[in-house]
Structure formats: C-alpha cells, structure tokens
Amino acid sequence: MNVYQHSGEDCGVRITAADRSAIIIRSNQLIRALLSDTADPNDLFLCLSALSVCLHVLFQYFILQVCIGISAAMLSRLSTSVRPCVSVCRWVHTKEKGKPLMLNPRTNKGMAFTLKERQILGIHGLLPSKIETQDTQAMRFQKNLKKMSDPLQKYIYLMGIQERNERLFYRVLMEDIEALMPIVYTPTVGLACTQYGHIFRRPKGLFISIKDQGHVRSILDNWPETTVKAVVVTDGERILGLGDLGVYGMGIPVGKLCTDNEVESYCCGILFSVQTYITFLLRDPFYMGLYQRRDRSQRYDDLIDEFMEAVVDKYGQDTLIQFEDFGNHNAFRFLKKYREKFCTFNDDIQGTASVALAGLLAARRVVGKPITEHKVLFLGAGEAALGIANLIVMAMMEAGMSQAEARKKIWMFDKYGLLVKGRAYETDSNQEAFVHPDPGEVKSFLDAVNVIKPSAIIGVAGAGRLFSHDVIRAMGSLNEHPIIFALSNPTAKAECTAEDAYSLTQGRCLFASGSPFAPVSLEDGRILTPGQGNNAYIFPGVALAVILSGVRHISDTVFLEAAKTLADQLTDEELSQGRLYPPLSNIREVSLQMAIKVMQYVYSKGMAFRYPEPVDKEAYVRSVVWNINYDSFLPEIYDWPGVSHSPVVD
C-alpha cells in the first residue's frame, strides 16, 4: 500500500538539486576510500556509517519519485512505504481493499470514494478522477429511472443498483418509496418472478436442492457473511397469486429483503429447489432449477428439518427464519411444527393477518363500532384467510368476547362454496373452526353476501375480479360504510379495483388492496386514496424487534400488538383521504415505531432473552437501523499528547 499526495502538497522529503549532487559526490568519495588498498582499517567503520546515511537519504528521494511516477496498482505490491503512518498499521487488519472493495455492494461507493480513500485503499486510478457526492449519484439514477416506462425494466435497473452499491440503492428507494415499492415488491416482483430465468443477471441468496440433502450445513458455510440474523426462505410453491414457480420464486425472498433491511445486520434469502409441477416451466430453456416434478415425499420434510437445525447450529438459536409463499398445507404444517422450537413466523399467515387486522381497527374510527360487532366474509379459505380470521378472533377475545362467539362472526367462501357443515367437499383441519351450520341457499358469493350480511368482505383467493359490481352494490346497500379488502396479489389478481369499490358505493366504502391502486376521483369532486394492505408495514418492524430483543419463539400476540400499533399511526387527516394505512412514504418511521412498541411488549411479557434490557428503547432502535450514508474508510488517526519518544536523561 502506498499513500501519496498530488503535486503542490507536502510530501515530507525536501532535497534540492544542489543537495542531491553534493550527496552523490560524497558517496562516491566514500566508496573509493573503502575500495582503496591503502585505506586505514581504523577509518572503515566511520566511512561505512557516513555512506549509509548518504544512501538512506538518496533512497528516500528516489522511492518518492517512483511513487509519483507509476500506477497505484503497481505500488500496492510494494511491502514498504516511504512514510511511516498510522494508516499503514490500521489497514493491516482490513479484509478488503483494492478492486474487491469496489465489487462488494456493501462497501462500494463508486466515485464517492475520497482522494485519500482511493490512495489508502489502492483504488486510485481505477475510478474516474471526479469525486462525487451521494446526492449526485442518486440524481443520476433517479433521472435514468424516469426515462423508463416498463416496470420490469425499472426492476432490472434497480436490482442492478443494489448489486453494485447497496447504500445508494436504499437511498434511491427511500427517497421515492411510494413509486418504487411497487417495483421492488408487489406487484412487479410477481412479474419478475415469472421471468426470473430470462432476466437473470447475478445470483442472490442460497439455492438448496432436494439433491443436497445431508449437505445443507456445508452450503450454509459457503455463504460469505459470518453473521446472519434473519433468513427469508421459500420453496416457490405458491408465489403471490401466481402459483408454483419453482426456482423462479427466489424473487420473493430478494424482494422481502429489499424492505427488511432496517437493522444493520446481515440477512440471507434462501430457496429450496424441490422443483415444480408446472409443465411450461419444465419446458422453459431458461428455467434455473432441476427439470423434474416437485418432490412431495418424506425427503422434502427431511430437507426442511435439516435446514432448520443447520441454521441454528451455525447462526444461533435466536436467528429469525421467515417462511414465505409455501403451499397452504405445508405453510400451516411447518408453522405448527417449528414455532415452539425455533424463532420463526410465516408472513403469508401471520404478517398478512396483522396488516389486515390493522385496516379493520383503523376502520372502526369511521364505522363507529367495535371489532366485536363486525361480521366478516372471506373470499378464499387458505393460509391468508385463516391467518387473518384467527387474528380477528384474538382481537375480539381481547375485547371481551368468547372464542366460540368470535368464530361465529367469521365466514369463508372458497372455490367449492361456503364452508358449512355437511357440504360435499371436505374441509381442511385448519378450517374446522370456521365451519358453520348451513344458513340457507347459497350458490354464489353474491348469495353469501345477501344471506350472511357481512360488514366486511376480504378477498384473498388470488382468482381475479370476483367482487363483482353486484357484490359491491350489495355491500353498499347493507352498510353505511362497507369494508372491502381486495388483498390478492399481484394487481391482476385483485378481487376488484379501487375505482369500482368507490364509485359503486358513492365513495362510502373503506377500501384496501394488496397491490397499489391510483387515487380515485369521484363525481362530487372528492379524491380518495386507497389504502394498500402491504405486509411491508409489518414484517420489517417485527423482525427488527425480534432480532434486537432476542425473542426465540414468536407468539401470535406479537402480531396482534403490531396490528394495533399500525392502526394507531394512521392520522385523522389520512383517514379522511380514504387511507386505512399510513402513506408508504412514511414506512420507515412506521417500521421504527412498530419495532419500539413490539420490543416494549416482548420485554413486558417475558419473551425477550437479550439482557440487559435497553432503558431507552427508541434511542436503542434508532441507533442500529440501516444508515444510507456512506462510511468513511479513512483510518482513525490521533496523537499521544505528552508522550516523549526520547530516552530519559538522568
């Protein structure tokens, strides 16, 4: 490593041309004297000492000239430096410098490396001469983004930024979160998953195949980061409302981690490559998994077991494992199996439930009646519906209602019809709590609305526009302020549009969707902004609180607390605009407040294992969250005042 300064700066060695000539002449004289046959042996020591001084001075001078003349890349091979300085000692312990530092997205700053950093790190000359600010870099990327109209192209471009410069990526994302969240997350991430092999640029996360059984730990050892606090894992079987996408489902863990990086610790996305049963993927030449049918044998369960044990063995018992987009049957099975043994939750069941309940709790301020007086009809009876239903029951029980009475308030309608006793199609064991006596002739969802007379309908079927105009009008006739949640993703799978919901109820409905819809202008001049029931309101804050407090088992009550916290952050002004959730532009602050509240809750309930407990939890949370500002790579240099380096004279 070589540290040097540009011309005009003090280089620490001052030798004039006359001095240099005099030193060279004197050196020649000393050398001739040493080589002379008549040299007095008593003078040899003095000659050698004098010559060494001359050569030392000349050596300093000529090395300086070499430093100025040749490239920094060549100089990095030198094992000595002209000037002893603190930075040399400091950077001995640095793992990365030179080109690898620029290739690592966590440390790369592009042209924002300062001149001193470029010199110290051995990257001077590897970058253009201009030194930019992060403001200029962000402006460049924002300008390029505005030139693009295709969401998939924007996704590819943004992922490219993340692959090169992580802090700049989060800077760009946070400055226009409402516009870019739908690109890096739902709905565009769904499109990206369907095209994942076609737009593939660089691998992200870990891929564990069914063929790797018995070797999962060695695969985890290949992950470059030694400290992992959170893992997002999927097997790709139920990607949003798109179904089984196999290995292409890796876009989901990647997208989740784009919004989950609130804590300055490392996360990892993992996909189990147990293949797919979708024929067109098995015929796709760009498919990135093995060309075989999805393995549903005992080998699959054994692989998941091995993975869970390997994660805690390598990273610790309190490592958060977040399950994403598993098929309905496996999602409930694994949640029940692992929740008391590991620090884990299923975002599709518990995260969706929390954000949906938050919307219902916010709606109380308009409807004017407590949660216990609501009757909810679901379109869909899978993991999302059951997760929401169970959390609503918990909220009703907290308000004083018995579990049995609360469950009577919940109805479900799936592809076979209303969940009622004695129907021809079997119900899943997870659905049994919401199977009721047959209320009468119900052949369609519209019939179910008219017979059950719900105050809220929640769509999580992923089957498209099944909240028909007649269904929406019926809800408007039954309720002064009907609650209509079309939560299926992506946008094409939503049960209805915001425009239909508002216009067909004369703007009286309280609407939320899973994917974003644009504001709606009504005939009376009002402009209503639909709420987006996005899980991103929940899992970053919950994950941050869980990691910081050392929770080892995540109770459903944590998600109930998260729902109440989210609902409380909605202002009256935002509610008057039609929103049921805070604007996405505030999501970072929402996540921080949720982390603070959830931390307070888990410590009060004895769920936390990290002690001593932080006294000021808000200050503690804010001190560890992700910082988009660049770090300085300059070593710490300081003096030792009052210290003498000369020997003590008696």
At a CB cut-off of 8 Å and minimum separation 6, what does 88 contact? 1, 3, 81
Q: For the chain, what percentages of helix, strand and coil (3-state, to nearest 5) are there?
A: 50, 10, 40
Say whether 324 counts as a known binding-site residue.
Answer: yes
185 as an active site residue: the answer is yes
Say if CB 412 and CB 378 are below 8 A apart: yes
Strand 376-379 versus strand 531-532 pairing type: unpaired
256 as an active site residue: the answer is yes
- Distance from the Cα of residue 407 to its chain's centroid: 35
Say if CB 232 and CB 322 are below 8 A apart: yes
Q: What is the largest CA-CA distance in the chain?
A: 128
Catalytic residue among 256, 409, 493, 597: 256
CA 603, CA 639: separation in Å to the nearest integer? 43
Strand 230-234 versus strand 320-323 pairing type: parallel
Q: Which runs of E-coded beta strand occur in 171-222? A: 206-209
Say whether 348 counts as a known binding-site residue.
Answer: yes
CA 509, CA 496: separation in Å to the nearest integer? 13
What are the tokens at 328? 């309905």
CA 129, CA 124: separation in Å to the nearest integer? 9
Say whether 166 counts as a known binding-site residue.
Answer: no
Strand 527-528 versus strand 520-521 pairing type: antiparallel
Q: Which residue has the tokens 């799978």?
A: 493
Say if CB 372 and CB 396 are below 8 A apart: yes
Task: Label residue 216 exposed, middle or buried (CB < 10 Å: 0-12, 13-18, 19+).
Answer: buried
At a CB cut-off of 8 Å and minimum separation 6, what does 636 contact? 86, 90
Say if CB 238 and CB 246 are below 8 A apart: no
What are the tokens at 603? 């410590």
Catalytic residue among 185, 248, 287, 338: 185
CA 576, CA 558: separation in Å to the nearest integer? 29
Strand 456-459 versus strand 410-414 pairing type: unpaired
At a CB cut-off of 8 Å and minimum separation 6, what does 221 contact? 314
Say whether 325 counts as a known binding-site residue.
Answer: yes
Q: Which residues are annotated as a binding site?
A: 238, 324-325, 348, 489, 534
Instruction: Catalogue the active-site residues.
Output: 185, 256
